[in-house]
Chain A
Amino acid sequence: MPPRASPLPFQSLNAIIYAHFMPINKSKICVVIPAYNEGGAIGNVLLSLKKDGYKNIIVVDDGSHDNTYSTANAFDIKVIRHNLNRGLGGALGTGIEMAIRTSEEGTIIVTFDADGQHAVSDIEKVALPIYQKKADVVIGSRLKNRTGMPWYRVLMNIFGNIATYTLFRIWCSDTQSGLRAFSLESSKKLHIRSNRMEVSSEIIREIKRLDLKMIEVPIKAIYTDYSLSKGQSLFTGIKTFFRLLLHRLMH
């Protein structure tokens, strides 16, 4: 049987108990947000994060042409700007690198999307197993709770999962998820080389290579017209698959 990422039993109850009696110290969570031309959405995302008490935020502006940088800079957070667009992988790599440099021991690094697809309340959900030292990496899975996900997205996601399994021999129910949590030690070990969207699958591959303990947690996906327009097209998906194949052959 292939190694399976198993969900914690009684997850929601566990999360609720912790949230009420032993809430995670939010300054111990570093939120990394890669952004490319998300000027419209990122303001709201940062507002809700701030409202929920997250102060340790790193936004990586991947060479946007719009007002992403200035919008993010208006908040009291760290904003880094790439002078050339490198892609999701490049931005994530920079964000995580910055997070590692500025984080103290025990920090949990959480990647979060800038387009408003993720719910701020899910950050605690993915950070919890790491806080409890039950996992090194947590991936938020939208497929465990498919309500609202358009059928073609589900299909593409499943293809992505199959491709990831075929190439890297690890099964994850939402390989393309942007909501992930890492312990500081795991982040230091990760070696992210991908530039573009194949980074999601590469992270899964790194988890397997480094033998990190991964757990999946169900999360909400907020589908507005805006966030749907930001998704991957089938063509992009195919290109991503071939890039992954190239990586597999190269390394």
Chain B
Amino acid sequence: MRLREGEINKMQFVFWFAVWFLVGVVGYWPGVTQNLADFLGIDRGIDSVVYVSIVILFYLVYRAYVKIERLEQDITKVVREEAINEFSSKNAKD
């Protein structure tokens, strides 16, 4: 629905759809987490979900940080240009 409204783009839609799908799968069939746990060599099924989630969260936070840093740099570029322009126009006046 939100995809149609253009609120989130296609990539995000796929991502969140996948998230909800996985939540549904695990909710309906908790046993599947045991497969993942055995594969990774962890004792309990739900533990593996927690560990994997943490790794994913770390990655998302890193991406967020990078985005913020780029934003800061962009803001500085705008502020700098504004400051220099203001200075030039003030000096041009007299």
Contact = CB atoms under 8 A, between A and B. Distances in A.
Interface of A: 60, 78-84, 86, 89-90, 93-94, 97-98, 101, 193, 195, 243, 246-247, 250
A250 B66 contact: yes
Contacts of A84: 75, 79
Interface residues of B, number: 14
Contact of A250 (B69, B75, B82): B69
A243 to B, nearest CB: 8
A63 to B, nearest CB: 8
B65 A82 contact: no
Given A78-B87, A193-B73, A246 B80 contact: no
Contacts of A78: 87
Contacts of B76: 86, 89-90, 93, 195
A97 B83 CA distance: 11
Nearest to B80: A94
B87 A86 contact: no
Nearest to B72: A195
B84 interface: yes
Interface in B19-49: none
Interface string B48-89: 000000000000000001100100110110011011101100
Contacts of A80: 83-84, 86-87
A82 B79 contact: yes
Contacts of A94: 79-80, 83-84
Contacts of B72: 86, 195
Contacts of A83: 79, 82-83
Nearest to A63: B79
A93 B83 CA distance: 12
B85 to A, nearest CB: 10
Contacts of A101: 84
A101 B81 CA distance: 13
B66 A86 contact: no
Given A84-B79, A193-B73, A195-B73, A246 B65 contact: yes
Contacts of A195: 72-73, 76
Q: Which 6 A-B pairs have the closest CB atoms?
A: A90-B76, A94-B80, A86-B76, A80-B87, A80-B83, A82-B79
A168 B7 CA distance: 42
Contacts of A247: 69
A86 B76 CA distance: 6
25 contacts: A78-B87, A80-B84, A80-B86, A80-B87, A83-B83, A84-B75, A84-B79, A86-B75, A90-B79, A90-B80, A93-B76, A94-B79, A94-B80, A97-B80, A97-B84, A98-B87, A101-B84, A193-B73, A195-B72, A195-B73, A195-B76, A243-B69, A246-B66, A246-B69, A250-B66
